[in-house]
Structure 1
Amino acid sequence: MKKLLILLFVAMFCQASRSEPNTPVDANSLLRDGAPVASAAVIISYDSENGKWMCTFDEEITDTKNKIAPGQSLEMLASSALERVIASMSSSNVGEFRLWGTITKYQGSNYVYPMILLPVTESPAAAEPNQLAESAGPEPNAPDFADPNDKISIPKEVLERLKPRRTVDLQKLVEGTISVTNEDVVFTERSGFIHQDYMKNYVFVPDGLGRSVQMVSLRVLPNAALANALKVQSSEPDRVRFKATGMLTRFDGQYYILLSRATRQYSHGNFAR
């Protein structure tokens, strides 16, 4: 109960301290697009004011040039890993996890794309040093009397080991509530167009270059590859066909793609634009 109250307080504090998540900042202070995140301690919470899932880092994340400081929050991008976590969370919409994923950079902001999220739990509280000393009993050669002025000296290394440790909650893995299996798939060298839908979201629509291809719309997640593709598109009066490669994921019934690259593809006049 105490731990839950602490998490709720952290979530409320994070929400109150950011009126506009991912507000553009100095581009020189952002992490590079594609910077990896491995086993980072994070708190995931839902920002009801903006309708977004936020990731608050409990440790420093760096790309050797810039860094994300402990306590800083980033918006989480849609992924199957995030969807599984949301389904397993309590009504408080707050939880502690270990995160594996990647940082993206788009229009002056960093985002985090989660690939694996493992829940963590506090180990049982360690016994107080005095309790340990009492349970151990007297030393073999100790005198029969106890001097009230005696002090128990415990090495610093031992005290560090007595502190509670955060560990992966294996019970949830066994129950199937959380899975470490990455259900995302690689989307390779597909031709198509990038445009905005009626909700002003950028989507990638595959095109078969004259072949019969089922129409499907993939919402494009914000990163540097999308920014580069839009820059190419803006320089042309007609729509541009791209050959896209990236990670295909599913969230809340919608397919998304995190582009790794989108190169312009020329039809040489053989196919209609």
Structure 2
Amino acid sequence: MRKGFPALALALLGTGVGMAQSPYESAADFAKYARKLREQALLKVEPQVFVPTASKTSTATRYPWKANIVTTVFWVGEQAGGNNPVPNYKSCWDANWTSNYGGFDSPDPSSRRNYIPASFTPRQNPFYCALPYNDVTHGQFKPEAPLVIPWFRTVYTEPGRSVCKDRWVAIRKGSRICYAQWEDCGPFRTDHFQYVFQNERPKPNLNHGAGLDVSPAVRDYLGLGPTDVTDWQFVEVRDVPPGPWRSYGDNNHFVIAKRQAEARLVQQSGAASR
């Protein structure tokens, strides 16, 4: 057997799939054939996301829709001004949000392509949102956090590490639903758990009582105006369907799972070649 065959070729030969069964005759051609099979296998990798749950209660039952919520658009790197009193170069949970995201998430449609900025590929999920509650203050959990956040005990990892950041949210406009990750707190408030987790309505504010901020990607997917009305609900990772919200971001569960699956495949191929 010639040295330098791809690991997949070795694995195929080891299982009895010989060159006579491939459409190629020479060893070099067979190596190309094996590489092609491996690439096809990688493309078919469907991330398996482990989600610890204590209950099989459906999303619709556990997290009811918040209906008719005034929704505004915000973006990473947004400057303060007008009805936006706080700049968004950092978030409540990330002091280096703009840098970690990869740059300014321009809301200008002419500066965007396929839901992301045309000038760079974001390092975090471009489908993000903000809700008016922060579970952490001064590096510690707020006293009510373990009591009002439904998933607190399930996903808790360490003191002061937010259990809300990166949580998935479904956002609905008409018959169209978009999925985004919770990455900041607002509009205006960071203490309104009675609305975010319970049954109160958003409090009055300068943006017509807005209770949800969404990113330009969410805006574009749903076709929203600068100020609009949507419905939203929390969803478990397992309930997030395929869509552009799965494609980007070091904080994206699906991107992380795909990278892990590819790394395992490479390790297995390397082990088979030894």
Task: Give yes or no for TM over 0.5.
Answer: no
More helix by share: 2
Larger Rg, first or second structure (1 or 2) = 1
TM-score normalised according to structure 2 size: 0.22
- Higher RCO, Cα 8 Å, sep 6+: 2
TM-score normalised according to structure 1 size: 0.22
More strand by share: 1
